[in-house]
Every structure is written in C-alpha cells, then in structure tokens.
Amino acid sequence: MTVLCHIGDIPESGSKGFEIEGRALFAVHHQGQFFVYENRCPHRGVQLEWLPDQFLDYERNFIQCATHGALFKIDDGQCIAGPCNGKHLAAVPFQRVGDELVLSA
C-alpha cells in the first residue's frame, strides 16, 4: 500500500505533483473530489506542470500542459483543446482511506 498524500496537502482547486517509485504522478482537488493521473502529456510525453505543483489553468477549471497549452478535463483527463484533442491523460487508480489518498495495487 503506497500512500500518495494526506488530503490536507492539496487545497480545494489545487494540485500537487509526486515522484513515487519512479513514477511521475499528480493529483487534483476539484469540487471536493480528488483525481490522480500520470504526469505525462499524451502529445509529446513530457511532464505537464509549468511550475512545481501547478497543473491547472488560470481559472482552475482544466488541467493544462505547459508545453503547448493543451487543456484536459479534470474529472476524466480527456483533452478538449490543443494538439492531443480527444486523447486522455492516464488515470491512476487510488482509494481514499480515511484522510489519505492511497494508490491501488
């Protein structure tokens, strides 16, 4: 069981990046829910953030890739604008256990 973080580590409308067991991941806290994805843009395979822990667009409605500006829906990772339109971020299975986010095996 791998603990990703405590839910208090990510404020509402916030995001946070992780390096865990050689994997680059990030989590988003949006409208009371948490979402976890691989930190890899489906366009070029690069990491998404423009600054540490900054994965969202200015209005915090979408995940944004810093390289070419692709926008992804927070709830399912689908790209809705940009060069990888229609592709998806890779969702990472996890569970909320108490006040922690735990990666599923």
Q: Judged by CB under 6 A, which stretch of 23-31, 32-40, 43-51, 89-97 contacts ligand FES?
A: 43-51
Q: Do 27 and 103 meet the contact criterion of CB atoms below 8 Å apart?
A: no
Determine, following the binding rule CB under 6 A, whether residue 41 of this chain makes contact with ligand FES.
yes
Long-range contacts of 25-33 (CB under 8 A, 24+ apart): 25/92, 26/53, 26/55, 27/101, 28/55, 28/56, 28/63, 28/74, 30/60, 30/74, 30/75, 33/75
Determine, following the binding rule CB under 6 A, whether residue 44 of this chain makes contact with ligand FES.
yes
Determine, following the binding rule CB under 6 A, whether residue 68 of this chain makes contact with ligand FES.
yes
Among 27, 65, 89, 103, binds ligand FES (CB under 6 A): 65
Determine, following the binding rule CB under 6 A, whether residue 89 of this chain makes contact with ligand FES.
no
Residue in this structure with the two tokens 């540490």, named with its chain if needed: 52
**Positions in the binding site for ligand FES (CB under 6 A):** 41, 43-44, 46, 65, 67-68, 70, 82-84
